[in-house]
Each structure stands twice: as C-alpha cells, then as structure tokens.
Amino acid sequence: MLWNIISVFHQLSLVNSYMLRILIILFISAFSTLALAHDINDTTFIGGKYSVKVDSIIIRGNKITEDFIIRRELTFHEGDSLTASKAAYNSDRVYSLGLFDHVKINPEVRDSVTYAMVDVDEAWYIWPIPFLDVKNGDWNKISFGIDMLIKNFRGMNETVRVDFGLGYDPSVSLSYTIPVIKANSNISLTTALSYSNVQNESKIAEAQYGSSFSQKMLNAQIILGDRFSLFHYVQITGGFNYIETPFYVPNSNINASDQRIDHLFYLGTGYTYDTRDLAQFPLKGILGTANVLDKGLGYQNINYQVYTIDFREYRRIVWDLYGKWRFVTRLTSGKIIPSYDVSFLGYGDRVRGYSNVEEGNNYYLSSLEFYHPLIKDVNINLDFIPIVPPQLLSYRVALYTEVFGDVGTATQRGRTVGINDFESGYGFGLTLLVLPYNILRVEMAFNNFAKSELLVNLGISF
C-alpha cells in the first residue's frame, strides 16, 4: 500500500522531488508512530465511541511536570466512567495549562485492567518575546520591549515573568506565580512589582491640567488564592500604589488625595467559576468572575471602590457552528475617583469599529460571536528540521471564521443611561491558532455609521 501511494505522488506533476521526499518522510514517521503507540505490552487500544470504567490513570511524557499538576485538572478519577467526549474535554483542560504541545487521553485495556492513558508532549518553557504595543491604534504612541517568560522550571507550573519596555509608556515589571504552593494543596500565590512612566489617558484630566502629562507609577502586589473545588476559585489581593503627578491641580480628579503624590494601599477579594474546555480558545463552558477592590483604605483621605463583573458562555450551536457571548461591567464608587482609575472603554475592553475612547465612572459592554472552523485542530510536527529543539517544532493549528457584534457605553455616576448612549459595532474576521504559542486575529469591524476599521490583534477577543 505504501508503494502505491508513492507511485501516485510520482504522477503528480506539480510535486517536485524535494516535496515528495518530505511527504514520504512525514507518512512513514506518522505510520511508525501510530504502530508503536498501540503495541505496548499486548495492550488493546479502545477507539471510537465508548464508555468504560477507569481502573487506573497513567500519565506519560511529562519529563519535568509533576503528575499532580496534570491530575488536578481531570474531571474523572479511578472508578469513574470515561467516554470519548469526556476524554476530549479533559485533554483540552490539561492542554489549557500551557505546558504541553500535545495532550491525548485514551483508554487502553491491559490484562483485563482498563487504563486511562494521559499522553503529553512538553513544550518549550523559556521565552524571550519581543513586543510592540500601538496604543489605541495611534502609531505615534508606540511602546516596545522584551517580555521574558520562564515557565515550569520546577515542574509545578510556576511562571517567572520579566517585562522591559521603552517608547511611549516605558516600564519594567517582575512577577512570580505558582498555582499550587505544594502537593495536595490548592493554595496559589502571585507576587508582582512594577514601575512605569505612563502618559495620562483621561481627556478630562488633560483639560483640567491644561496639557498632556505623564505619571510615574509604582505597584507592589500579592495575591493568595484557593481553588476549593475543580471549577471554583477565590482570591484575596493586597497591594500598594505610588502615583506621582508633576503638579497638583486643586479641585480636580487628577489625584485621589490633595497632594501631587498619592500613596494608595488597597485590599480586595474575588471569585471565579470556570468550566471551559480549552482556555486559549474555548468551544464550550462558562467563565464567570466577580471582584471588588477597596482602594486607599482611608490613608491620605483616599477611599473609593472598584467592582468588576465578567460573564462568558461558550457552546456548540449546531454541527461545527459555535457561539459565545459576554457581559462585562466595571463600576466605581466613592467621593473622588482619580483620573488614572476611572473606567475606560476603548483600551482593553472596547466596541470593535470605534477607535475613540470613552471614560466614566462605570462602563458596560456586551459581545456576541459565532465562529466556524475552516481548519480544525491539525497537529503539525516538524521535528525532522535539524538543530531546532523538537519542543519548538510541534504545533496545534486551527483556522476559524467569525462574525461578531459589540454594544457598550461608559457613563458618569448618577447619569441615567439611555439606549442612544450605547455604541454598537459588528463585523467578521479570521482567527488563526498556533498553539500553545499564540493566536492571531484579523477582523473587519463597522460602527453605527458603517465606518470600517481593520483590526489585527494577538489573542482571542474573549
């Protein structure tokens, strides 16, 4: 059969000899890998639709990652039933850790014992990534630098991150995250320290100040979390902000205190509910978060609160058509909300199709998307390329087409919000997944007035 396939390749005039060799190598490699994978100690591989009781779970391929990091993502245990759909869902949950190039869960029977085989291929864990940030689409406001990531160095999914940026908003930051501080524990820890010289974003503050200006900001933060069950997570946040403005302007909201330098302590709590399958690009599940931060705590007479609620749902509509929707709001309360902490709609969260930025005490945003795969989950392995580490030559690739709609507004406290206050945008686009590394989105968006905007971004919309 193999030589029949090769002869067909020879008859294709558009395939030169070099490409033919590559195709043959890929075919033989895949054939050999498949044969070896299913011929281990007289093991019977179970394929297709099935429902089996799992006697034991075996994890293979994790040379660095501890077993418990993988096991804590599984929704089944020894003695539970395993179906094909549950195996696919759990494969995506393990993949969501961002530690592996490939994850596959399959049941196998060996000596009348049913094993759930969790096979993983570990990814590359040290990344110096250059970045370029064009603020609000304005090419006169470019920040650039290096984002250095060191992941999983002790096998416990830890991340050390160092960012160094120059240009419009120069900054430097250092953070450390560990999702499980020790085995058999669900307590997580994040610490972060950052310094930046940030250009003011508030048009109201710029009018009060009389010109554009920047503020020096220092932030130190610690977050303790507890994932008290598989899908539920709570956290406590504490920290300190130092915000320095060149001059103090009386009777303005540029600062939270009556001085040009704010010393701002804060304390908060949050809750997350997360049942998503693949965090990088979910097809089903729910993500809901609610957070509150109490800022100032009375020091320098600073006292205000920030509340955020974010709810997202992902589901299959019919066949390979998927849908997702989101509602997010950011609310503030207190006598004085400083300009650097008002609610901006147009930077992180935005109505696609509008390049302007709205600011207020509160904002509201809702989005709806439908998406369909043009290429769905193709595993590409280029490990025949010499010199390059094999972890960098394995990808999970997919291509989706999408249509979307956004509605949102930002408003001042106490002002009644009417239907005419909301901006709406809609459009279509393509999303290219090259996982576990990144996602590229190219979208054409239109606003209420049918004015178009081409958007090119990394990462998913939500």
pLDDT of 292-302, one tens digit each?
Answer: 999 999 999 99
Asked if residue 231 has pLDDT above 60, the reply is yes
Structure tokens at 253: 């909201």
Average predicted confidence (pLDDT) for the chain: 89
Query: What does the radius of gyration of the chain's CA atoms come to, in whole angstroms?
Result: 26
d(CA 120, CA 112): 24
Pairing of strands 113-122, 56-60: parallel
- Domain covering 38-122 assigned CATH 2.40.50.100 in the classification: no
Return all residues near 413 (Cβ < 8 A) that are at least 6 apart.
Answer: 332, 333, 360, 361, 362
Return all residues near 321 (Cβ < 8 A) that are at least 6 apart.
Answer: 370, 371, 372
| Dihedral sign for Cα atoms in the order 407, 410, 414, 415 | negative
Average confidence (pLDDT) over 425-432: 97
Question: Can you give the pLDDT at residue 45?
Answer: 66
d(CA 241, CA 264): 5
Find out whether 19 and 6 touch, Cβ atoms under 8 Å: no
Asked if residue 216 has pLDDT above 70, the reply is yes
Q: Where are the domains positioned within the chain?
A: 1-37, 38-122, 342-462
pLDDT tens column, 152-187 = 999 999 999 999 999 999 999 999 999 999 888 899
Q: What is the DSSP letter of 420?
A: G
**Ranges 6-15, 67-76, 110-119, 240-249: which has the least confidence:** 6-15
Torsion angle of alpha carbons 30, 31, 32, 37, nearest 10°? 80
Asked if residue 17 has pLDDT above 80, the reply is no
